[in-house]
Structure 1
Amino acid sequence: MRLRTVLATFTAGLAAATSLAAAGPVNANPQQNHGNSAANTACSPSVSLDRFSDSLDKTTYDGTFVGNFSALAVDRDGSLAAVSDRSSLFRLDPRTLRPTGVVPLADENGAALDSEGLVVDRDGTRLITSETEPSVRRYGPTGALLGRLPVPDALRVAPAGRAVPNGTFEGLTLLPGGRTLLASMEYALSGDEAGTVRFQTWTRRGGEFTLGAQYAYRADAGLGVPEVQATPDGRLLVLERGFTAGVGNTVRLYLADPRRATDTSGVENLTGQDGVRPIGKTLLADLVTCPSQGATAKQPQPNPLLDNIEGMVITGPSKGALKVLLVSDDNQNAVQTTRFLHLRVRV
Structure 2
Amino acid sequence: MVVSALCVVAVAIPSLVWWQAGDAEPSSGPCSDDVALIGHSDALDGAEYEAAVPVDGLSGLAMSGPSRAWALADNAPGRIFELDLGTTGAVPPAARAVHLRTLRPTGGGRFDGEGLVLEKGGRTVLVASEAGPSIRRFRVSDGVQTGRVELPRNLVEWAGPENLEALDASPNGRYLYAGLEAPLFHDGKARGRSLLRIQRFRGTPGGAYVPDKQFAYQSAAGLRVSELVALGGDRLLVLETNHAEGQGNAVRVFGADLSRAKDVSKVASLQSEPVDAFAKKWEPVDLVTCPRGGAAAAQPQLNPLLENAEGMTLGTAPLASGPYKGRMPLFLVSDNNNSPHQITRVYALAIRLGRAAAG
Under TM normalisation by the shorter chain, which class is it? Answer: 0.7 to 0.9
Does 2:155 correspond to 1:149? no
Q: 2:22 & 2:57 partners in 1: Cα distance?
A: 22
Q: 1:43: which partner in 2?
A: 31
Q: 2:98 & 2:17 partners in 1: Cα distance?
A: 15
Question: Structure 2 regions of 5+ residues with no counterpart?
Answer: 88-93, 320-324, 354-359
Q: CA deviation at 1:35?
A: 8.0
Q: CA deviation at 1:133?
A: 1.2
| Equivalent residue letter for 1:104 | T
Q: 1:5: which partner in 2?
A: none
- For the residue of structure 2 that corresponds to 1:288, the secondary structure is helix
Q: 2:222 & 2:54 partners in 1: Cα distance?
A: 31
Does 2:347 correspond to 1:341? yes
Q: 1:16 & 1:68 partners in 2: Cα distance?
A: 33
CA contact (8 A) 1:216 1:277 kept: yes
Q: 1:292 & 1:237 partners in 2: Cα distance?
A: 23
Instruction: Select between 275-284 and 107-116 the one with higher mean Cα deviation.
Output: 107-116
TM-score normalised by length of structure 2:
0.85
Moved over 3 A (4+): 10-19, 26-36, 109-112, 272-276
CA contact (8 A) 2:38 2:348 kept: yes
Q: Cα–Cα, structure 1 residues 22 and 104, in superposed 2: closer, same or farther, change >3 Å?
A: same
| Equivalent residue letter for 2:318 | P
Question: Structure 1 regions of 5+ residues with no counterpart?
Answer: 1-9
Q: How does 1:204-223 map to 2 (within 5 A)?
A: 204=203, 207-223=207-223
Q: 1:79 & 1:14 partners in 2: Cα distance?
A: 17
Q: Cα–Cα, structure 1 residues 321 and 188, in superposed 2: closer, same or farther, change >3 Å?
A: same
Q: 1:164: which partner in 2?
A: 160
CA contact (8 A) 1:58 1:332 kept: no
Q: How many residues align?
A: 330
Q: CA deviation at 1:77?
A: 8.1
Q: 2:139 & 2:66 partners in 1: Cα distance?
A: 15
| Equivalent residue letter for 2:149 | L
Q: 1:91: which partner in 2?
A: 82
Q: What are the superposed Cα offsets for residues 149-206 of structure 1, whole Å, 9 maximum, x if unpaired? A: 00112112xxxx11121x2111111112211000111111111031011001110169
Q: 1:97 & 1:280 partners in 2: Cα distance?
A: 36
Q: What are the superposed Cα offsets for residues 74-121 of structure 1, whole Å, 9 maximum, x if unpaired? A: 126863111010111111124343111111113214666211101011
Q: Cα–Cα, structure 1 residues 265 and 276, in superposed 2: closer, same or farther, change >3 Å?
A: farther
Q: How does 1:197-208 map to 2 (within 5 A)?
A: 197-204=196-203, 207-208=207-208
CA contact (8 A) 1:236 1:255 kept: yes
Q: 1:307 & 1:270 partners in 2: Cα distance?
A: 31
Q: 2:2 & 2:102 partners in 1: Cα distance?
A: 27
Q: 1:294 & 1:260 partners in 2: Cα distance?
A: 42
Q: 2:53: which partner in 1?
A: 64
Q: CA deviation at 1:128?
A: 0.5
Q: 1:317: which partner in 2?
A: 318
CA contact (8 A) 1:26 1:97 kept: no
CA contact (8 A) 1:47 1:345 kept: yes
Q: 1:112 & 1:273 partners in 2: Cα distance?
A: 34
Say what the alpha-carbon RMSD is for the aligned residues: 2.6
Q: Cα–Cα, structure 1 residues 228 and 34, in superposed 2: closer, same or farther, change >3 Å?
A: farther
- For the residue of structure 2 that corresponds to 1:317, the secondary structure is coil
Percent identity between the two aligned chains: 36
Q: 1:28 & 1:45 partners in 2: Cα distance?
A: 20
CA contact (8 A) 1:16 1:76 kept: no
